[in-house]
Amino acid sequence: MYEKLISESIKAKELSHSPYSKFKVGVALLTKDDKIYLGANVECSSYSLTICAERVAAVKAITDRRKKFKAVAIATNSKEFAFPCGACRQFLSEFSENMDVILVKTKKQYQIYKLQNLFPHTFKLK
């Protein structure tokens, strides 16, 4: 079902700018209208200014007028499945609270979660 999204996330690792951590993260974000946006982590010598791959992809989609997401595939070079950080969970849930989150090791090894299960009780300005 998500074959293309998964392989795009693996390819997106090549876009990573991560000279400090050497930890490459590649993301492929699927919008409600079936467009795919790629993202990768972009690090900065002032480390805390680093931007995660998930938020790079989301910001690209949002500023291209696409604010509803079906799924995000996240690939890294780690041997473990890498979950999105808390900040990215909050950020994605702002737009699509119950999208699918796919953790990718290889084209054949992946896990699918619901964002709501990874991040219940998201902060809301209400």
Q: Which residues are catalytically annotated? A: 54
Which of 7, 50, 77, 116 is close enough to bind ligand THU by CB under 6 A? 50
Report the residue number, 30 or 72, with the smaller CB distance to ligand THU: 72
| Sign of the alpha-carbon dihedral angle for 61, 101, 97, 41 | negative
Which of 32, 64, 68, 85 is close enough to bind ligand THU by CB under 6 A? 85
Q: Choose one: 2-10, 15-23, 104-112, 114-122; the region binding ligand THU (CB under 6 A).
A: 15-23
Q: Are strands 100-104 and 69-76 parallel, antiparallel or unpaired?
A: parallel
Contact characters 18-47, ligand THU, x per CB under 6 A: x--x-x-x---------------x-x----
Q: Choose among 106, 96, 98: nearest CA to 61.
A: 96
- Sheet arrangement for strand 100-104: 36-40, 25-31, 69-76, 100-104, 110-114
| Pair 97, 53: CB distance under 8 Å | no
Which of 5, 73, 88, 99 is close enough to bind ligand THU by CB under 6 A? 88
